[in-house]
């Protein structure tokens, strides 16, 4: 046995006064076993590892029973099929027979898909962050046989590199520590468990609901704003869609030019950067650099749905056609790549790479590759516009260029001495040819799993874009997708499922219970569908889903919603009995404020006090913490706006040209808490409105004189009918 001290990022024991580094590792010569059980998994991520020599297990009672019976620590890998560094670690370590030999002999290995099981991922992310200060994917955690985490990290290289110890050394050191210093390991596990519990405790965060919290969130964003390149913070740069929406709303309310500059600069720089796919549309997951040029190339449904809403809302607030064009381009990409056109529904993600040896090669271009498919004139324009040169931005292949907008068409026109129309036509032709050529490349894998929560986000975004930008196709596909999710994932007696359909048709479907996000996001999507169609069946679905959400997740003692429902009689594995009330946006909008928004929207239609009371208790349970989280509390800020601002409904009656103009006028201004319904007067009370709202509207023929009209209602009191679009626009401005 040889003893070596591990580098700083290796195994830590957390003690009250100090951090101790465990030492020593074994060498071993055990036989290699190559079979694992993931061939029967449903998840794309798990199935991708079924040929590895590691004896992987799915998260199950059986896996934990083996660990306890054999008294072995658990190696927990949490990743995703779109995750570049997960693939790298698979290739470098889990495909290595010698490393697999160590794992198989000394550990019980469990692999989890973070998209399929966000409840597992969220808890062990907190644990690993408590130990190492790091989070992300792949998440590599070491657990006691009963699932208590005592050490972890993210990516570990095969050799000492990046300031990290080799995975081999980590495995051997952990195994040695578990065997020979078990008391220290158990003490560490207890401390990490306490850290998880404390991180999820919001008891000290109670307080009154105040608009000052929204002010604090906005000020945090202004302090982080990058005035040079837009966005918040430095590299790496992530999207913050809820924060953008808060800024758009506040700008519309106040006319504050500084706020306008922040969201306009951010959205413009993002859309002109390499983080945006300049050929196909759609956004990659984040930018490696502060200039939004070099992305991590995977594309996620949730990023693109939330950003789609950002660009629609920015268009409403500014009238900029550029923002409308980006929104339409996002839809173009989602339609082509992330949509089940046959059945309805949105796929989960597109991977970054096609192999372990490339880094976005599908999306990037050498100068020779561009010249090979373009005419000389097209190549000249495209090279200037997208900054395509002999030396590009990709470190693994310096000849590869990320396409981003370097020069405007006006600049190129002057430089090439061509008129603007010529340059525009040449660029359009170049884009078409380059995209056609790219389509001939082997495309990165699309995970066709249909998740309830992410589909709800996409459905809401499509419905919003459809009505604001008058895109019938987006509106129809959003509704079709919602119909599929409701048909396949919802049963009144059981509730929702998290997974509607898996990517691999050969995979056996697993019934994965829904989490809070599934309920909160889908309740809002149903309300969005109701507002688009005036079909009361969608409203009734929202009502039933919200009632089930309250039944399964609401904390009647302290307020707020837990992220999971603990089933009676079900054995709880690992740290899944830790109760969480998700509050921060990361990476999707947080479940608690979204749930509160759904309840407040329901209250605005039903006048049922219990909905507002539960929303209020949810927001109060977290009110003392919002300022601490800054831009990561932006969805909470949106929920506060919904709570404090009187709700407004604009009901447009009629179906002639005047009704269309009134509807367009009502839709155009952006504001939280405003809804617009288009109804045929004869059926409005009986078929299309919830009773409380219907009761607020006087007898229609007397109100409208059988003409098309708009009726504005707030707090269940309606104003006299409005017959002219300009008067409606004026009235809407006074309510903002």
pLDDT in tens, 142-160: 999 999 999 999 999 988 8
Closest by CA to 665, choosing from 316, 428, 324, 425, is 316
Structure-block tokens of residue 571:
């054995």
Whole-number Å distance between alpha carbons of 404 and 639: 35
DSSP 684: I
Q: Contact, 415 vs 384, CB < 8 A? A: yes
Measured at the CA of 724, the angle between CA 719 and CA 729, to 5 degrees, comes to 75
| Section 119-148 average pLDDT | 93
pLDDT on residue 712: 93
DSSP-H helix ranges across 562-608: 591-606
Q: Which pLDDT band holds residue 21 (cuts at 50, 70, 90)?
A: very low
Whole-number Å distance between alpha carbons of 43 and 509: 9
Average predicted confidence (pLDDT) for the chain: 90
Structure-block tokens of residue 468:
């604001």
pLDDT tens readout for residues 517-564: 999 999 999 999 999 999 999 999 999 999 999 999 999 999 999 999
Whole-number Å distance between alpha carbons of 157 and 53: 18
CATH of domain 2-200: 3.40.30.10
* CA 650 to mean position of chain CA atoms: 30
Q: Contact, 438 vs 277, CB < 8 A? A: no
Q: Which pLDDT band holds residue 19 (cuts at 50, 70, 90)?
A: very low
**Cis peptide leading into residue 138 (ω within 30°):** yes
pLDDT on residue 29: 34
pLDDT on residue 200: 63
The helix/strand/coil state of 578 is coil
pLDDT on residue 372: 98
Element (H, E) at 678: strand 674-679
Structure-block tokens of residue 157:
């290289």
Answer yes or no: same fold for 2-200 and 363-441.
Answer: no
Cα-based torsion angle of the residue sequence 242, 246, 249, 255 in order, rounded to the nearest 10 degrees: -140
CATH class for the region spanning 648-735? alpha beta
DSSP 279: T
Closest by CA to 305, choosing from 658, 580, 587, 685, is 587
Q: Contact, 622 vs 592, CB < 8 A? A: yes
Count Cβ atoms below 10 Å from residue 123 Cβ, excluding itself.
Answer: 22
Whole-number Å distance between alpha carbons of 451 and 457: 10
- 649: which strand partners? 675, 713
β-strand pairing of 19-21 with 74-79? unpaired
- 24 pLDDT above the threshold of 50: no
Domain ranges of the chain: 2-200, 363-441, 648-735
- 162 pLDDT above the threshold of 50: yes
Output the pTM of the full model. Answer: 0.93
* CA 27 to mean position of chain CA atoms: 42
Cα Rg of the chain, angstroms: 27
pLDDT on residue 193: 82
Write the CB contacts of 653 (distance below 8 Å, at least 6 apart in sequence): 659, 679, 680, 681, 684, 700, 704, 708, 709, 710, 711, 721
Write the CB contacts of 129 (distance below 8 Å, at least 6 apart in sequence): 135
Q: Which CATH number fits domain 363-441: 1.10.287, 1.10.10, 1.10.1200, 3.40.50?
A: 1.10.10
Structure-block tokens of residue 668:
């155009």
Whole-number Å distance between alpha carbons of 517 and 592: 8
pLDDT tens readout for residues 407-424: 999 999 999 999 999 999
- 697 pLDDT above the threshold of 80: no
- 17 pLDDT above the threshold of 70: no
pLDDT on residue 701: 53
pLDDT on residue 570: 58
- 4 pLDDT above the threshold of 80: no
pLDDT tens readout for residues 324-358: 999 999 999 999 999 999 999 999 999 998 877 78
Q: Contact, 594 vs 601, CB < 8 A? A: no
β-strand pairing of 286-287 with 295-296? antiparallel
The CB-based long-range contact list for 613-616 (8 Å cut-off, 24+ gap) reads 614/550, 614/554, 614/559, 615/639, 615/643, 616/209, 616/643
Classify burial at 655, counting beta carbons within 10 Å of its beta carbon; exposed 0-12, middle 13-18, buried 19 or more: middle
Residue with tokens 């927990």: 76
DSSP 556: T
Q: Which pLDDT band holds residue 484 (cuts at 50, 70, 90)?
A: very high
Kindly report which listed range (366-375, 582-591, 622-631) carries the lowest average pLDDT score.
622-631
End-to-end CA, the chain = 73
Whole-number Å distance between alpha carbons of 302 and 486: 19
Rounded to 10 deg, the angle between the 634-644 and 211-224 helix axes is 150
* CA 400 to mean position of chain CA atoms: 29
pLDDT on residue 202: 61
Q: Contact, 520 vs 595, CB < 8 A? A: yes
């Amino acid at each position: 046995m040889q003893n070596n001290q591990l580098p700083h990022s290796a195994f830590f024991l957390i003690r009250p006064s100090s951090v101790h580094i465990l030492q020593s590792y074994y060498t071993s010569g055990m036989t290699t076993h190559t079979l694992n059980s993931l061939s029967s998994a449903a998840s794309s991520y798990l199935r991708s590892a079924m040929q590895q020599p590691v004896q992987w297990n799915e998260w199950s009672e059986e896996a934990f029973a083996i660990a306890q019976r054999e008294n072995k620590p658990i190696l927990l890998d949490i990743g995703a099929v779109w995750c570049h560094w997960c693939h790298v670690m698979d290739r470098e370590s889990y495909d290595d027979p010698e490393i697999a030999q160590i794992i198989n002999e000394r550990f019980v290995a469990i692999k989890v898909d973070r998209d399929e099981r966000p409840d597992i991922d969220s808890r062990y992310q907190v644990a690993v962050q408590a130990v190492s200060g790091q989070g992300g994917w792949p998440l590599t955690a070491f657990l006691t046989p009963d699932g208590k985490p005592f050490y972890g990290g993210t990516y570990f290289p095969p050799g000492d590199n990046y300031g990290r110890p080799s995975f081999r050394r980590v495995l051997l050191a952990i195994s040695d520590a578990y065997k020979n210093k078990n008391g220290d390991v158990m003490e560490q596990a207890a401390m990490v468990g306490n850290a998880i519990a404390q991180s999820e405790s919001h008891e000290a965060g109670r307080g009154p609901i105040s608009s000052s919290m929204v002010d604090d969130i906005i000020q945090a964003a202004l302090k982080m704003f990058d005035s040079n390149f837009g966005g918040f913070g430095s590299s790496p740069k992530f999207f913050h869609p809820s924060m953008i929406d808060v800024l758009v709303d506040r700008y519309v309310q106040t006319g504050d030019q500084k706020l306008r500059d922040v969201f306009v600069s951010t959205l413009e720089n993002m859309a002109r950067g390499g983080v945006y796919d300049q050929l196909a549309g759609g956004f990659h997951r984040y930018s490696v650099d502060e200039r939004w040029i070099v992305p991590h190339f995977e594309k996620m449904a949730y990023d693109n749905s939330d950003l789609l809403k950002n660009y629609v809302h920015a268009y409403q607030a500014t009238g900029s056609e550029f923002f409308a064009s980006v929104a339409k381009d996002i839809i173009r990409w989602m339609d082509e790549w992330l949509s089940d056109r046959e059945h309805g529904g949105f796929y989960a993600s597109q991977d970054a790479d096609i192999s372990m040896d490339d880094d976005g090669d599908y999306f990037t271009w050498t100068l020779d590759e561009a010249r090979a498919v373009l005419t000389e004139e097209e190549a000249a324009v495209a090279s200037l516009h997208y900054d395509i040169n002999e030396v590009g931005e990709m470190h693994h292949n310096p000849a590869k260029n990320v396409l981003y907008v370097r020069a405007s068409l006006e600049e190129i026109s002057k430089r090439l001495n061509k008129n603007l129309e010529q340059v525009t036509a040449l660029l359009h032709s170049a884009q078409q040819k380059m995209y056609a050529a790219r389509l001939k490349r082997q495309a990165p894998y699309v995970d066709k799993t249909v998740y309830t929560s992410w589909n709800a986000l996409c459905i809401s975004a499509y419905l919003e874009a459809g009505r604001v930008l008058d895109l019938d196709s987006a509106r129809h596909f959003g509704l079709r997708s919602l119909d599929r999710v409701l048909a396949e994932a919802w049963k009144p007696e059981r509730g929702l499922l998290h997974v509607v359909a898996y990517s691999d048709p050969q995979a056996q479907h697993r019934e994965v219970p829904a989490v809070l996000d599934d309920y909160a996001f889908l309740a809002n999507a149903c309300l969005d569908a109701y507002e688009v169609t005036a079909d009361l069946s969608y409203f009734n679905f929202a009502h039933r889903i919200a009632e089930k959400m309250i039944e399964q997740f609401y904390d009647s003692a302290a307020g707020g919603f837990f992220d999971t429902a603990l089933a009676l009689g079900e054995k709880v594995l690992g740290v899944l009995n830790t109760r969480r009330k998700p509050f921060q946006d990361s990476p999707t909008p947080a479940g608690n404020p979204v749930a509160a928004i759904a309840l407040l929207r329901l209250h605005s239609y039903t006048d049922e006090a219990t909905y507002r009371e539960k929303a209020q208790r949810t927001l109060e349970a977290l009110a003392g913490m919002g300022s601490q989280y800054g831009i990561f509390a932006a969805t909470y800020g949106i929920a506060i706006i919904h709570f404090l601002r009187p709700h407004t409904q604009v009901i447009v009656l009629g179906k002639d040209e005047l009704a269309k103009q009134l509807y367009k006028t009502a839709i155009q201004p952006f504001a939280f808490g405003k809804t617009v319904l288009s109804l045929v007067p004869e059926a409005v009370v009986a078929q299309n409105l919830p009773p409380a709202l219907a009761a607020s509207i006087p007898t229609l023929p007397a109100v409208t004189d059988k003409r098309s009209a708009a009726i504005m209602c707030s707090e269940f009191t309606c104003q006299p009918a409005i017959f002219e679009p300009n008067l409606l626009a004026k009235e809407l401005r006074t309510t903002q």
